[in-house]
Structure 1
Amino acid sequence: MQDSTIMVERTAMPVTAPVRALARRIQGKHADHVVHGVKTVIAALLTWAVVAPWVPQNQPYPAVATAVLMVNASTVYESVRKAAQSVVARIAGLILALVTARLLGPTAGAVTVIALIAVLAGPRRTADDRLQIASTAVIALTVTATDPMGHLLYPVLQTLTGAVAGIAVNALVLPPLYLNESDSALRDLAEALGSLLHDMGSGLARRQLTSKGYAWLHQARALDKRLTHAEQQVQQADESLRWNTRCVAHARRRNTAHADSDAFKVLRGIAIQVRGIARTLADSHDGHTDHHLGQQFLDRYSEALHLAAAAVQDSVTTRLTADPSHASPRERLRTAIDGTLTWHHAMTDMIGQGQLTKPGAWHVYGSLMTDLERLLTDLDHAHKH
């Protein structure tokens, strides 16, 4: 009988680590609020100074409102997209108001026609665009009837000026980047995956499969929320780099965003395998099955899960470490992958030679080994690239 010689190192996580992480997040959010407040004031005052001298009755409120909306967009790209939609919707609404006022006058019939046209405008426009067109047209209906061209020109110029001012401030004054949020989400996801793998490994070693099998499956299914959150953060970080002036001075930021995207793809694949492992372990001790796993296999499989947990957590640490001098995470990752691969090959040979007890559970052994092999393949591929 072949025994495993792989030793699993268990390290306790400092209690203060989550506290420090929470403190950093609170400080980061507070700083973000201050930056948004300063940028909003700058955009509002700049727009007022530019628009007030030429707008009728010295009331540039629509321009200021547009500037505030654009400067508070989540990214520079988003502010440009919103500005284009707002200007187009405002022009469409004013033209619609001008046409209906000429044909029907400022009457209930004109309002009805505007509502019908906005609702039936076509599938290419979103509901928000149609609503903005309709509201703009209804508000401008009376004034366009009395002074069509003047009240058609000034709102468009105000919207355009406010949009330009808001975009300029958003792009030039500390444009938003979400790389830290993306990194944090990926680390949280990797930590959750590694923690579940480690918990399953410890449970198997302590003969707790029967009592904890379904709890592990529930935790694995709950990972979907973390996956969704991480994907959203990675996408937002990638979008925040588009047309961002801070990336000109920090070229490595874009490489970091690409690394985040690649790391998420790896973790998404690992999450699928972790869920498969949890499902197989839960089913193996279902009262309706007769293919319970042998403890000999589970003892050795627990060692592999501990190693896989360390490899998963170190994989994100390695990919998100920009300084190549940080060799320790890479070495730990390589050691964990090599150790688990060695175990995997040994156990595969034992299964093939029929050296394990419970031979009737060979298909369950195969499922667990296949999920682990795919998990290791994803980690190994990510490490090599």
Structure 2
Amino acid sequence: MARTSDAARAATTTLHGAARAVPTKLHGAAQAVRRAAEHPGRERDLAAQALKAAFAAWLSWAIVGWWLHAPMAFVAPWVAILLVESTVYQSVAHALQQLAAIAAGTIMATELVLLMHNRMGAMGLVLPLVVLLSSWWRLGRQGIYTATGALFVLTDTHVGWTTSGARIAEAAFGATVGIAVNALIRPPVYLRDARASLRAAARETAEILEQPAGRLVDGQWDEDGAKAWHQQALRIQHRVEECRSAVGWSRESLWGNVRRRALEPSSPAGDDEDALVVLEYAAVHTAELTRTLVEAAAADRQSRWAGLPLIHGYADFLAQAARVMRLSGQSDAERDDDEALRQAAREMRATVDGLRRQMLDTVLGEPELGEPEEASAYGALLLQAQRLAWHLDAAAREDSARGQV
């Protein structure tokens, strides 16, 4: 009885939790609809793709089923709705794979049924073969339609080459309609998503660089803080992977896209690639910088480092690198001109040059830095600073050069 009561209370709690979540879910859905109606974004893109898929299926059925009265008319809208893909390139590539899979399964099943005159026996032979064929890497995710094509034949009461040929032809027609609708009616473009990801990652990198900039100078720096900075820097590398995926989608969405000519003058294809390369370098070097700080964060070292001229200069470099990252992550509308970016990059390089000149004098002139461990820690910091500064400065100059063209 006690167990029954506990189970009832748990079920009641679950139902109450689900009931409380419903208004939140409805509010989120309403907000998504509002965003889709008000301005361009992911929600509007998804709504457009859904409407296009529905239209492709309707058009296929209207021609093949309503007008031509084809015997297997349902195949055409089924294939059409599946091939309104995320990009035009994927629509074409997946159409070829899907048609090959459907044709292979259909032909194999038809041949065996006609030879054996026994659908149950043919099913026992052909299904293992088509399931194995569906895992062939050249068919990709469309390989499952090998088994689907075979099942359409095996479960049909009338098996013949005419029926099977009509099924393949209707699949080809549905694929043609799906590709045409996706390519000609508001073909999807993901430039906006890629740039939003790149800017967000640049801002996060700037925030990570800013945090140790102030803490190094005031001496409020410990091993736990350095480890937290390093963990944040490692998360940036995951964001870079997301950006790489977004840039890949952006590039692929322009292949075979009729809107490409209108988009390329204001959105050169190489800009996002260049920004991604710079962000990759920044993420790697930021992780190495923070790792060096973790290794150098012995319990008795922070207060001593805080009073050294080199640490003050290094903190200035981190703040300036953060400013360059933040400015490079801004859109043209957010940034009035490129002079602020160029000036920030020049100041950062000047600081690094000063750190390099101070390095030898500081290590030799400070008795507490006479240990090889201390000197190697400073050397690692300076090396990473030079690499990061070089890449950020090069990116700033390229950005400015593009803005002047």
Same-fold status (TM-score > 0.5): yes
Q: How does 1:261-340 map to 2 (within 5 A)?
A: 261-286=273-298, 294-295=305-306, 296=308, 297-317=310-330, 321=332, 328=337, 330-340=338-348
1:362 aligns with 2:375: yes
Asked if the contact 2:102/2:145 (under 8 Å) is kept, the reply is: yes
Deviation larger for 268-277 or 245-254:
245-254
* Residues 230-250 of structure 1, C-alpha deviations (whole Å, 9 max, x = no match): 111110001001111111233
User: 1:260 offset after TM fit, Å?
Assistant: 0.6
Structure 2 residue matching 1:174: 3-state secondary structure: coil
1:4 maps to what in 2? none
User: 1:198 offset after TM fit, Å?
Assistant: 0.7
* Structure 2 Cα separation of the partners of residues 127 and 119 of structure 1: 13
Matched AA of 1:369: L
Pick from 187, 210, 223 the counterpart of residue 198 of structure 1.
210
* Structure 2 Cα separation of the partners of residues 85 and 335 of structure 1: 53
Asked if the contact 1:214/1:282 (under 8 Å) is kept, the reply is: yes
Distance 1:294 1:326, change over 3 A: closer
Structure 2 residue matching 1:252: 3-state secondary structure: coil
Q: How does 1:118-267 map to 2 (within 5 A)?
A: 118-121=130-133, 123-126=136-139, 128-143=141-156, 146-210=158-222, 211-252=224-265, 255=268, 257-267=269-279
User: 1:36 offset after TM fit, Å?
Assistant: 2.3
* Structure 1 Cα separation of the partners of residues 304 and 130 of structure 2: 64
Deviation larger for 190-199 or 115-124:
115-124
* Structure 1 Cα separation of the partners of residues 94 and 101 of structure 2: 10
User: 1:116 offset after TM fit, Å?
Assistant: 2.8
Normalising by structure 1, what TM-score? 0.84
Distance 1:91 1:247, change over 3 A: same
Normalising by structure 2, what TM-score? 0.80
1:344 aligns with 2:356: no
* Structure 1 Cα separation of the partners of residues 305 and 104 of structure 2: 71
Matched AA of 1:268: E
Any stretches of 5+ residues in structure 1 without a counterpart? 1-22
Distance 1:166 1:111, change over 3 A: same
Task: Give me the identity figure in percent.
Answer: 27
User: 1:314 offset after TM fit, Å?
Assistant: 1.7
Distance 1:24 1:56, change over 3 A: closer
2:46 maps to what in 1? 33
1:109 aligns with 2:127: no
Matched AA of 1:348: R
Q: How does 1:21-60 map to 2 (within 5 A)?
A: 27=39, 28-52=41-65, 53-56=67-70, 60=73
Asked if the contact 2:103/2:168 (under 8 Å) is kept, the reply is: yes
Distance 1:311 1:299, change over 3 A: same
User: 1:224 offset after TM fit, Å?
Assistant: 2.5
Asked if the contact 1:247/1:253 (under 8 Å) is kept, the reply is: no
* Structure 1 Cα separation of the partners of residues 303 and 376 of structure 2: 11
Indicate the RMSD between aligned Cα atoms, in angstroms: 2.6
Asked if the contact 2:88/2:256 (under 8 Å) is kept, the reply is: yes
Distance 1:105 1:202, change over 3 A: farther
* Structure 1 Cα separation of the partners of residues 73 and 195 of structure 2: 41
1:12 maps to what in 2? none
Asked if the contact 2:56/2:80 (under 8 Å) is kept, the reply is: yes
Asked if the contact 1:293/1:358 (under 8 Å) is kept, the reply is: no
* Structure 2 Cα separation of the partners of residues 24 and 366 of structure 1: 51
Distance 1:215 1:24, change over 3 A: farther
Distance 1:247 1:198, change over 3 A: same
1:89 maps to what in 2? 101
* Structure 2 Cα separation of the partners of residues 250 and 134 of structure 1: 41
User: 1:124 offset after TM fit, Å?
Assistant: 4.1
Higher relative contact order (CA 8 A, sep 6+): 1
User: 1:203 offset after TM fit, Å?
Assistant: 2.0
**What number of residue pairs does the alignment pair up?**
353
Distance 1:222 1:251, change over 3 A: closer
User: 1:340 offset after TM fit, Å?
Assistant: 1.7
Asked if the contact 1:89/1:132 (under 8 Å) is kept, the reply is: yes
